Amino acid sequence: MLGGTGKTGRRVVDRLTALDLPVRVGSRSAAPAFDWQDRGTWQAALDGVTAVYLSYYPDLAFPGAYDDVKAFTELAVRSGVRKLVLLSGRGEPAAQAAENAVRESGAEWTVLRCGWFMQNFTEDFLLGAVLDGVIALPAADVPEPFLDAEDIADVAVAALTGEGHAGRLYELTGPRALTFADVAGELTEITGRRITFVRVTPEEYVAAAVRHGVPREAAEGLGHLFTDILDGRNASPTDGVREALGRPARDFSDFARANAPAWKR
């Protein structure tokens, strides 16, 4: 379970554990430890493993991701892994190159090509912005069908444990596209606090992120995702969650109401 402590990975771990299935978490803090930047840790994490949920850190759009994923999947198949489920990103050419590496690995594969996570507003780099009341991003006035990580985890577990998902590429989104200004409006209504969206330049965003402790490389990578990926290419919602699970994806309003306590000062 690579990325087993991340937003989607830990949810997948919880579900597999509840099913009483053996799980090995792949993270730097696990035993044995796994680190994408240290290939010497890979083999021990793979010993005895037959299926892998593959989540690349920090993102498949970052430099070096394709080489790492290709090398890892080749090692995984040599080590006896028969099933790979890849967390990928919509509209990211570099991510799609990594998808090809998984497809060509020789293992049974499923690709989860996902939109932006709703949990970025509650568990990640946008939580502080919401708490401050100002979401300042280098994002255009373009809608995004934000996706619940709980839905991703449900699809991942279905692909890891069930039949009918081999060779499938699921484009996973929420059911409704929202701009960041729309999100700010919904959060204002649900929390009772005034929350606004402000568009800033990429340079302003990177500088502010670095001031708040984000490593420059990571801040620049996020700036790239906001300016290059959020250009409208992913604005249309898909029905991938229903295709995989037979039920609709969770709506942002339902997510926001359930998580309103996270935004209380």
Reported as a single tens digit per residue, the pLDDT across 192-228 is 999 999 999 999 999 988 887 888 887 887 787 787 7
Q: What is the pLDDT of residues 124-135, one digit of tens each?
A: 778 989 999 999
- The pTM score is 0.94
Average pLDDT over the chain, rounded to an integer: 93
> What is the pLDDT, as a whole number, of residue 92?
87
Residue 206 to residue 76: CA distance in whole angstroms? 36
Q: Which domains does the chain have, with CATH numbers?
A: 9-263 (3.40.50.720)
Q: pLDDT exceeding 70 applies to what percent of the chain?
A: 98
Phi, psi of 112 (to 5 degrees): -105, 100
pLDDT at 117 over 90: yes
Max mean pLDDT among 30-34, 94-98, 143-147, 216-220 falls in 143-147
List the structure tokens of 178.
């929202």
All residues at 6 or more sequence positions from 66 whose CB lies less than 8 Å from its CB, including other chains: 60, 94, 97, 98, 101
What contacts 170, CB < 8 A, 6 or more positions away? Answer: 110, 111, 112, 113, 155, 240, 241, 243, 244
